[in-house]
Amino acid sequence: MITADELQEKWLADRRKGIGGSDVAAVFGEKYGCPRALFLDKTGVERDYEHSEADLDIFDRGHSLEPLVAARFESETGLKVRRMPARVSKARPWMRVNVDRVIVSAENPEPGFEGPGYLECKTASREVFWDMRSTGMPEHYILQIQHGLAVTGWRWGAFAVLEPYTFGFLHFKVKRDERLIAVIERVEEEFWKRVKAGDIPAKLEDFNDARCQKCGYRLSCRNAEALPKEKKRKRVYEPDYSPELDIVVGNIKMLDASIEEAEAQKKIERQKAVILMGDREAVLVPTQGKKLLNSARSGKLTWDSKALDAEQPQLAAKYKRRGEAYSVLMMYDAAETDE
Ligand code: SF4
């Protein structure tokens, strides 16, 4: 029986056999992609920075919701879809595509949409979804779908996009574009020749490029320490006037106030106890069933992780461990800035 690790290894080995649909943006240096990072990936160089938990959650979300996106596409369009194994181009074996679903030929298709279609299933954040709704498919999606059409030889395809929070849904039907496919094939071929020849593409020019800040090779490719910190995401606080949340937050405020008062009072009583103990290190208070110990402690041993990051970045990256994710509810005054 094949293990998860072996499966992962196999997937990585397959990925390195050629250029897939999700690689095209990187070949062209579009959106999040960098040709140099893709080259390192294709030549089997190990990443020196792992994906963040948040990024892994997004990959997982896309994978888990794929059947739902495909089903929604069927119900919105009346078209039928089926699963299909990965395809490899006959003319260019290094061009491959994982077909999310094949769209079964319709009975009376519109001109240009005859035969099977290639369906790409996506999930998108609210911002990206609304952006797509007003401006249409982004360039890297267009490149991805034309790459899929180049490999399969089909005449059309579609993108189905789900916004998981509101369940908003969009789909775009796309015809095969021979001129764009010719460009994609040429540029991918040049890139693949470089991979085979070990000719590594140049680094991105702008040192502050957001792609470098999220890149899995940022430590070895660029001195990660010299990079500015990632920009914080601007949060949007959605007003909620529900009486239920009003009562709960009111209760938290009340409890916070009494905890603060109790903590302040406790501090005063502890100081009084220390004074009453005088020179004595240990005292028993039988009436309260408590023992008091007033002893000196040495300071807690901690790591200076900033200095370690600055002086030994490779070592720091190797031994950094992220604990299991958990959620924390913070409460601030509404007028406070969000930093
Ligand atoms: S660190 Fe920047 S230039 Fe280097 S591979 Fe990554 S994205 Fe490309």
pLDDT of residue 107: 84
Indicate if the pLDDT at residue 225 is higher than 80. Answer: no
Share of the chain above pLDDT 90, in %: 40
In whole angstroms, what is the distance from residue 160 CA to residue 100 CA?
Answer: 10
| CA proximity to 254, closest of 264, 242, 246 | 246
Is the distance from the beta carbon of residue 224 to the nearest atom of ligand 1 less than 6 Å?
no
In whole angstroms, what is the distance from residue 29 CA to residue 255 CA?
Answer: 53
Is the distance from the beta carbon of residue 194 to the nearest atom of ligand 1 less than 6 Å?
no
For 24-45, what is each residue's pLDDT tens digit?
A: 999 998 878 899 999 999 998 8
pLDDT of residue 327: 64
Q: Are strands 156-163 and 117-123 parallel, antiparallel or unpaired?
A: parallel
Where do the structural domains in the chain lie, given as residue ranges? Answer: 10-222, 235-283
Q: Which two tokens stand for residue 95?
A: 């061009």
pLDDT of residue 162: 94
Which atom belonging to ligand 1 lies closest to the Cα atom of 218? 1
Q: Give 120's DSSP letter.
A: E
CA of 35 to the centre of ligand 1 (A): 8
Read off the pLDDT of each residue in 16-25 and give the average, rounded to a whole number.
91
The protein residue whose alpha carbon is closest to atom 4 in ligand 1 is 221
Task: Please say whether the beta carbons of 38 and 47 come within 8 A.
Answer: no
CATH number of 10-222: 3.90.320.10
Q: Who has greater pLDDT, 87 or 339? A: 87
pLDDT of residue 157: 95
In whole angstroms, what is the distance from residue 115 CA to residue 104 CA?
Answer: 7
For 318-329, what is each residue's pLDDT tens digit?
A: 776 666 666 667
In whole angstroms, what is the distance from residue 158 CA to residue 120 CA?
Answer: 6
Is the distance from the beta carbon of residue 214 to the nearest atom of ligand 1 less than 6 Å?
no
Task: Please say whether the beta carbons of 20 and 98 come within 8 A.
Answer: yes
Which atom belonging to ligand 1 lies closest to the Cα atom of 37? 5
Which atom belonging to ligand 1 lies closest to the Cα atom of 209? 2
In whole angstroms, what is the distance from residue 309 CA to residue 303 CA?
Answer: 11
DSSP strands (E only) in 96-238 = 96-97, 101-103, 117-123, 156-163, 168-175
Is the distance from the beta carbon of residue 155 to the nearest atom of ligand 1 less than 6 Å?
no
In whole angstroms, what is the distance from residue 46 CA to residue 217 CA?
Answer: 8
| Average pLDDT taken over every residue of the chain | 85
* Virtual torsion, Cα 217, 195, 100, 159, nearest 10 deg: 80
